[in-house]
Structure 1
């Protein structure tokens, strides 16, 4: 969508495996009806925290927006994810990272990503955080909330990070 809306450059990234990247490339190609937009959109693999790959060495602090969806379900990868967000996000007061995760794996997993000291150590802080229902209703984020399993699966958490 960013490519179609005029972004100068878009890198769609996922785990560096052709099994994952091939379908991503195919989906983007089908969705890019405008040739110009397609030239600005690339697909590249990146393993969170691995900051010595081609993408990482070329694009350190290169993006004014970093968007990551469905990435908070593996708490053992949160340190690596935070490092990658810091690495790619521009060192600019206007730069923002949007992190979106579904509550299907529980609030505790998400809350671990929000470690204030870990974020602060990377020069990041939470600007906004809220919950959005699949039907559009919004509410404040709560680390602890009585959700039944069926209802919890209908909510997303949206986190906006900015530079400190």
Structure 2
């Protein structure tokens, strides 16, 4: 839902581009991409008959009822790590890869990271403007993100600075004050600071609980509207510094109402070719 909100309010991320979604589930980000004028969208999920059947039904319904027959979106099965040749068959002549790849909550299983990174390396267009847009929760721990970044680096991808679009969203949110964390970070060696520079490119945002509503006066609800008011995860309008290690936020291991405190936070970030 959060990725869909981002695409809804920032259409330039996908407009006139060839878009691929991996592990799409309900494929809502794919539908939003088509709605926002993507040149062509391919929504993919695990290549199993029942999964693909439901995906194609969802795509067909969206094309008829939401896109009014005008959206260039297809739903197909694809297993990460396998050859993407069948995916390329859906692209027009002269196009052999995708400008944007979408990942929404696909990092929870570390055993799939290598295959996912391999698929990114074979489907993402090899130019400096191409992006993998990632939305990842913290419900399975911060190390999941760090593990995946390592796998992505092995195929030539890296976390890149937020686009101007994402930075405008980020700068409009309230920063959580964490003096204890800042004190710990200030004691790090120069080598550690340089090694963790990539973490500054990851936007960490707070999710609202079911009973919370965003304040109408928050900067995020007017100048930077990033919420579709419907059922699903919503943002509170607060942000904080992303850190890669659980040990830097030991309070996140605690539970409230049976839910880990880290589950209240999620991340938005992008991968591109090489360090930028």
- Shorter chain as denominator, the TM-score bin is 0.7 to 0.9
* Paired position in structure 1 for 2:79: 47
What is the aligned counterpart of 2:238 among 137, 140, 156?
137
SS in 2 for 1:142: coil
What is the aligned counterpart of 1:121 among 151, 154, 161?
154
Structure 1 residue runs without a partner (length 5+): none
Provide the rounded CA distance (Å) in 1 between the counterparts of 2:269 and 2:109: 16
* Mapped contact 2:84–2:123 kept (Cα < 8 A): no
TM-score (norm 2): 0.53
1:56 Cα deviation after fit? 5.6
* Paired position in structure 2 for 1:101: 136
What is the aligned counterpart of 1:14 among 42, 45, 48?
45
* Mapped contact 1:93–1:163 kept (Cα < 8 A): yes
Provide the rounded CA distance (Å) in 2 between the counterparts of 1:64 and 1:156: 24
Q: Deviations over 1:126-164 (max 9, x none)?
A: 013121222242222211223134322222222300112
TM-score (norm 1): 0.86
SS in 2 for 1:73: coil
* Paired position in structure 1 for 2:36: 5
Which protein is richer in strand relative to its size? 1
* Mapped contact 1:66–1:89 kept (Cα < 8 A): yes
**Does residue 67 in structure 1 map to residue 102 in structure 2?**
yes
1:61 Cα deviation after fit? 5.5
Structure 2 residue runs without a partner (length 5+): 1-31, 161-200, 208-234
* Paired position in structure 2 for 1:157: 267
Aligned length: 160
* Paired position in structure 1 for 2:54: 23
* Mapped contact 2:84–2:119 kept (Cα < 8 A): no
